[in-house]
C-alpha cells in the first residue's frame, strides 16, 4: 500500500487546521466496538475486527500530521474479566496487528512501543510485540504507543514501589520526591503528557487511563463508536482542541 505524503501547511489549512495548533500527544479511549456489533446483530468480535481499520486510519493521519505521539488504550487490566473466547480473539487480533502493520510502521518511520504489563499476554504475542518494538526503535517519526494490560492505578502502585525501594536503599531522600520523581517512575517515563484525550461511544469517564498524565489534557467525547471513527471526526477533534484556551490553572491576561 502506498504511503500518503505528509500534510503541508496548505493541506492543513484546507482542513481548518494549523500545525502550531495541533496537539503534541493524543491519547484515545477506543470504546464502543461491542456496541457497534450489537447494533448490527453481529458477534462482539466483529466490532473489534472493524475497529482495527479505524486504528489504521487514525495512525496514518496522525503520522502524516507530524504528531509526536499517539497512545491507544487497547486492553485494560480490567478487560481480563471478559469471556475467555473474547479474550482469545482479542489477543489473536493484537498479534495479527503487530505483524501485519510492520511494513507500514517502517515506511512511515513510526516508533512502536507499549505501556502496561507484558507478563500476562502470553510469550508468543509478547515475542511479536517485542519484535515490532525493536524493528522500529530508531525510527524518527511519530511514537505509536499501545496501552496493553494497562491500568493507571496499577501504574501508580508500581511507581510508588520503585520510589520506596530507592528510599529504602538510601539513593533517594523522602524530601527529594517531587512530581518529576513520580513521572520518571511511570510506564510513560520520557514521554510527553497528552494534550488531547479522545473518547468514543459517548461514555463520560476516564476508565483508569493515564490518570496522572492527563491532569491538564483537553477532553473530546463523541457519541460515535470506535469502528465508525475516521479521519473526519479526528479532524473535528483537532479543530475543537485548537479553539480552546489552555490556561493550566492560571488566568488569561486581559487586554485593557
For the segment 32-66, what is each residue's pLDDT rounded down to a tens digit? 999 999 999 999 999 999 999 999 999 999 999 99
For the segment 146-184, what is each residue's pLDDT rounded down to a tens digit? 999 999 999 999 999 999 999 999 999 999 999 999 999
pLDDT band at 254 (very low <50, low <70, confident <90, very high): low
Domain boundaries defined on the chain: 22-150+193-241
Residue 215 has a pLDDT of: 97
pLDDT band at 7 (very low <50, low <70, confident <90, very high): very high
Residue 256 has a pLDDT of: 42
Q: To the nearest whole number, what is the mean pLDDT of the chain?
A: 94
pLDDT band at 245 (very low <50, low <70, confident <90, very high): confident
**Is 55 within 8 Å of 28 (Cβ atoms)?**
no
Selected from 1.10.645.10, 3.10.129.10, 1.20.58.220, 3.40.1180.10, the CATH number assigned to the domain covering 22-150+193-241 reads 3.40.1180.10
Cα separation of 216 and 145, whole Å?
Answer: 20
Residue 3 has a pLDDT of: 53
Tell me the mean pLDDT in the region 124-129.
95
Which residues form the catalytic set? 31, 79
From residue 71, alpha-carbon distances to 36, 42, 56, 118, 120 in Å are 22, 28, 13, 17, 20
Residue 4 has a pLDDT of: 72
Amino acid at each position: 500500500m502506498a504511503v500518503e505524503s505528509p500534510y503541508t501547511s496548505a493541506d492543513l489549512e484546507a482542513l481548518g487546521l494549523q500545525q502550531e495548533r495541533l496537539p503534541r500527544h493524543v491519547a484515545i479511549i477506543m470504546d464502543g466496538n461491542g456496541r457497534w456489533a450489537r447494533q448490527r446483530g453481529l458477534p462482539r468480535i466483529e466490532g473489534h475486527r472493524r475497529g482495527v481499520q479505524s486504528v489504521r486510519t487514525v495512525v496514518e493521519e496522525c503520522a502524516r500530521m507530524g504528531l509526536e505521539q499517539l497512545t491507544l488504550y487497547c486492553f485494560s487490566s480490567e478487560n481480563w474479566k471478559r469471556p475467555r473466547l473474547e479474550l482469545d480473539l482479542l489477543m489473536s487480533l493484537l498479534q495479527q496487528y503487530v505483524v501485519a502493520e510492520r511494513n507500514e510502521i517502517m515506511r512511515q518511520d513510526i516508533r512502536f512501543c507499549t505501556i502496561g504489563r507484558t507478563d500476562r499476554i502470553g510469550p508468543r504475542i509478547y515475542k511479536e510485540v517485542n519484535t515490532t518494538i525493536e524493528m522500529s526503535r530508531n525510527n524518527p517519526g511519530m511514537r505509536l504507543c499501545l496501552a496493553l494490560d494497562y491500568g493507571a492505578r496499577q501504574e501508580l502502585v508500581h511507581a510508588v514501589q520503585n520510589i520506596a525501594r530507592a528510599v529504602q536503599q538510601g539513593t533517594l531522600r523522602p524530601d527529594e520526591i517531587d512530581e518529576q520523581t513520580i513521572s520518571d517512575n511511570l510506564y510513560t517515563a520520557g514521554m510527553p503528557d497528552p494534550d488531547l484525550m479522545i473518547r468514543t461511544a459517548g461514555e463520560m469517564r476516564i476508565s483508569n487511563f493515564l490518570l496522572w498524565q492527563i491532569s491538564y489534557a483537553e477532553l473530546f467525547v463523541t457519541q460515535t463508536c470506535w469502528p465508525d471513527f475516521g479521519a473526519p471526526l479526528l479532524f473535528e477533534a483537532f479543530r475543537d482542541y485548537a479553539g480552546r484556551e489552555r490556561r493550566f490553572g492560571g488566568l488569561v491576561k486581559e487586554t485593557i
